[in-house]
Amino acid sequence: MSTLERAVSNSSIMLVSQLVTWTATLVLTAALGRYLGDVGFGELYLAMSFGVIFSVLVEFGLDQQLVRAVARDRTLAGTYLVNSVVIKAALSVIAYALIVVLIQLLGYPAELKRTIAVYSLILFVNGVSASCTAVYQGFERVFHSAIGMVIEKGFVSIVALILLIDGHGITAIAGVFVVGSLLGALWKVYFLRRMVRITASSDISTIRKLVIGALPFFLYWALGAIYYRIDVVLLSKLTDATVVGWYAAAYRLFDTLVFLPSMVSTVIMFPILARLATGSRADLRLAMGKGLDVIVMLGVPICTGLFMLAEPIIQLIYGKPEFLNAVPALRLLSVGLFLLYVNSVLAVALVSLNQERKMTVVAALATIINLGLNWLLIPHFQHVAAAAVTVVTELFILCYLGACTPRDLLARSSLIVFIKASAAATIMATVLYALEDQSILLLVPVGGLTYCVSSLVFRLVPVEDVRTFRNAIEARRRSRAAPATP
C-alpha cells in the first residue's frame, strides 16, 4: 500500500472514530455542566488538569521516540514497548506521590482532594495506552487504537451519565474516567500482541537509551503541559470556584476540538514525516505541505464557527445562565485553537527532522510568557485573561516555529490555501451574523454549507488533489477486492 493510500485509509478510520468520541464527549460535557453546575464542573476539571500536567512526567517523551523509531525500524517495536512501560510504571509512582503532596500543600477541600487522588490513578493506565497507540502509529495502523478510544469514551459517557442522574458527585465521576481508560488500554494491548512479538524483557541499556533520547521530548512536553493547564490551577488560587467553572466550560470545548491536530498531525502525519525525513526531501516537503493544507482547510471554518456561535453553543450545551460568563473566553480560545492547529504541523515536522531540542526552547519561553502574563492579569480579568494569554502564547509559538522550520519545507501554496479558506470563512461568518436570531441547529448546517459552496467557488481544493485522492480510494478498494495470493 502506498503512503497516500495508507494516509487515506487511516484518515477515514480516524474521522469516523473521532466523530463518535467527539459526540460522546460533547454529550458528557453537557451532562456534567447541567448536573454539577459551575462549581462542581470547575472542580472536576481542576482534577483533570492535575492529571494532564503530571501525565507528562509519566509519558516522559517516550511515545514520540516510539513512533519515530518504529516508523523507521519495526523490529524495535517489542523491545521499545516493554522498556517504555517499565519506565512509565516507575514514573507513575513518583508522579502520584507528588500529586498527593501538592494537593495537601495547596489546601484544597477534602472532597476535591479525594477527586484529584482518584482521577490521578489514570496516570499509569493512560501511559500504557499511549505506548500502545505509539506502536500502532509507527506501523501506520490506527484501527485498533481508534476502537480503543471509542470504547473508552463511550463507556465514560454512558456510565458517568447514569451516575449523574443517580445523584453521584465528582469523585465517582473521576473513578469512571479511570475505568474507561483501563478498558481502552486492555483492548489496545490485546490486539497489539497479535501484531508485535512482545517477548523481550527490560534491560538497563535499552532503558538508558530511551531515557537519554526522551529527555528533549520530556522537557518540551513538561513545559508544554505547564503552560497548557497551569492557568486552571492559578485560577483556582487567584479567583474562586465559580470562575474556574466558567473557564472550564469554555476550555472543555476547546479541548474537544483539539482532535483535528491529534488526528492529522500526530496520528497520520508524524509517522509519515518521520519515515520520509531520512529519504527524499521533495517527498517530505509535499507531505508536510498537504498536511498543512488540510489543517488550514478544516481549521479555519471550525474556529470561525466557534467564534461566531460561542453564545448559542454555550447555551445549548450547558443550559444554565451562569455559564454564559464563559462566552468571552470561548471566543478568545477559538483564535488560539487555530494557532494551535498550525503549530501542530510545524512541531511534528521539526521532531521528524530530529530537531526536538528547538521545541524545548520554545516551550521554555512560552511557559515563562504564559505564567508571567497569567499571574499579572488573572487577578484583574479572571478567566478572560487566561483565555487571552493562551492566544498570546500560541501566537508566540507560531512565530518561533515558523522561524525554525526549514524554508524549503514551507510551500507557498499553503499561504494561498489560507487566503482562500479565510475568504470562504468570511462569507460564512457574514451569513451567520445575518441569521444570528435563528436556532443553532439551523446555523451550524447553514454555516457549513456556505463554507463548502464558497470553497468550490474559490477552488480551495486543487483539481489535481481531488483526482489524486479519488485514485487513492480506488486503489484501496481494488487492493481489498483482490484475492489473496496463496
Cell of 264: 492529522
Q: Euclidean distance between the first and final Cα of the chain, in Å? A: 18
How many whole angstroms separate alpha carbon 129 and alpha carbon 183? Answer: 10
Q: What is the mean pLDDT of residues 263-288?
A: 67
Structural domain includes residue 485: no
Structural domain includes residue 468: yes
| Position 195 confidence tier, pLDDT thresholds 50, 70, 90 | confident
How many whole angstroms separate alpha carbon 212 and alpha carbon 342? Answer: 29
Structural domain includes residue 417: yes
A 10 A CB-CB count for 233 gives 18
Q: Where are the alpha helices (DSSP H) in 277-404?
A: 281-308, 310-318, 327-352, 356-404
Q: What is the mean pLDDT of residues 243-264?
A: 80
Region class of 140: left (phi > 0), else alpha (psi between -120 and 50), else beta: left
Sign of the CA dihedral running 359, 360, 362, 367 = positive
| Position 271 confidence tier, pLDDT thresholds 50, 70, 90 | low
Residue 1's pLDDT is 47
Of 227-231, 247-251, 270-274, 386-390, the poorest mean pLDDT is in: 270-274
- Residue 281 reports pLDDT greater than 60: yes
Q: To the nearest whole number, what is the mean pLDDT of the chain? A: 81
| Position 486 confidence tier, pLDDT thresholds 50, 70, 90 | very low
**1 against 58, higher pLDDT:** 58
Residue 268's pLDDT is 63
Asked whether 399 and 430 are in contact (CB, 8 A), the reply is: no
Asked whether 171 and 42 are in contact (CB, 8 A), the reply is: no
CA angle, 367 as apex, 366 and 373 as ends, to 5°? 90
Tens of pLDDT along 424-471? 999 999 999 999 888 888 999 999 999 999 998 888 876 565 555 555
How many whole angstroms separate alpha carbon 122 and alpha carbon 178? Answer: 5
Residue 300's pLDDT is 92
How many whole angstroms separate alpha carbon 296 and alpha carbon 302? Answer: 10
Of 92-106, 152-166, 324-338, 348-362, the poorest mean pLDDT is in: 348-362
Structural domain includes residue 81: yes
Of 15-29, 36-50, 229-243, 408-422, the poorest mean pLDDT is in: 15-29
A 10 A CB-CB count for 216 gives 21
Helix and strand tally (H, E) in the chain? 18, 0
Q: Give the closest residue to 303 by CA, choosing from 413, 447, 400.
A: 447
| Position 220 confidence tier, pLDDT thresholds 50, 70, 90 | low
Residue 304 belongs to domain spanning: 3-479
Residue 211's pLDDT is 77
Asked whether 318 and 36 are in contact (CB, 8 A), the reply is: no
> Looking up cell 504541523, which residue turns up?
345
Please list, in sequence order, all residues whose beta carbon lies within 8 angstroms of the beta carbon of residue 59, skipping any fewer than 6 positions away.
Answer: 88, 127, 130, 218, 221
- Residue 241: phi and psi, rounded to 5, are -65, -30
**191 against 480, higher pLDDT:** 191
Sign of the CA dihedral running 460, 463, 468, 472 = positive
Quick one: what percent of the chain has pLDDT higher than 90?
A: 27
Q: What is the mean pLDDT of residues 249-271?
A: 72
Write out the DSSP string of 81-92. HHHHHHHHHHHH
- Residue 182 reports pLDDT greater than 60: yes
Radius of gyration (C-alpha) of the chain in whole angstroms: 22
> Looking up cell 470553497, which residue turns up?
455
How many whole angstroms separate alpha carbon 69 and alpha carbon 274? Answer: 9
- Residue 200 reports pLDDT greater than 70: no
**486 against 165, higher pLDDT:** 165
Cell of 87: 519506565
Cell of 334: 477559538
How many whole angstroms separate alpha carbon 118 and alpha carbon 430? Answer: 47
> Looking up cell 483492548, which residue turns up?
187
Q: Give the closest residue to 420 by CA, choosing from 457, 391, 385.
A: 457
Residue 201's pLDDT is 65
DSSP structure class, residue 437:
T
Cell of 272: 509519515
Tens of pLDDT along 67-121? 777 777 777 777 778 888 888 888 899 999 999 999 888 888 888 999 999 999 9
Structural domain includes residue 71: yes
How many whole angstroms separate alpha carbon 96 and alpha carbon 254? Answer: 27
| Position 66 confidence tier, pLDDT thresholds 50, 70, 90 | confident
| Position 275 confidence tier, pLDDT thresholds 50, 70, 90 | low
Residue 484's pLDDT is 44
Region class of 94: left (phi > 0), else alpha (psi between -120 and 50), else beta: alpha
A 10 A CB-CB count for 333 gives 28
Give this prediction's pTM.
0.70
Structural domain includes residue 484: no
Structural domain includes residue 262: yes
Structural domain includes residue 486: no
Q: What is the mean pLDDT of residues 27-51?
A: 86
How many whole angstroms separate alpha carbon 421 and alpha carbon 341? Answer: 14
Q: Give the closest residue to 352 by CA, choosing from 259, 262, 272.
A: 272
Amino acid at 188: K
Sign of the CA dihedral running 383, 386, 392, 394 = negative
Please list, in sequence order, all residues whose beta carbon lies within 8 angstroms of the beta carbon of residue 434, skipping any fewer than 6 positions away.
Answer: none
Q: What is the mean pLDDT of residues 361-381?
A: 88
| Position 352 confidence tier, pLDDT thresholds 50, 70, 90 | confident
How many whole angstroms separate alpha carbon 377 and alpha carbon 94? Answer: 33
Residue 208's pLDDT is 79
Tally of domains in the chain = 1
Quick one: what percent of the chain has pLDDT higher than 70?
A: 83
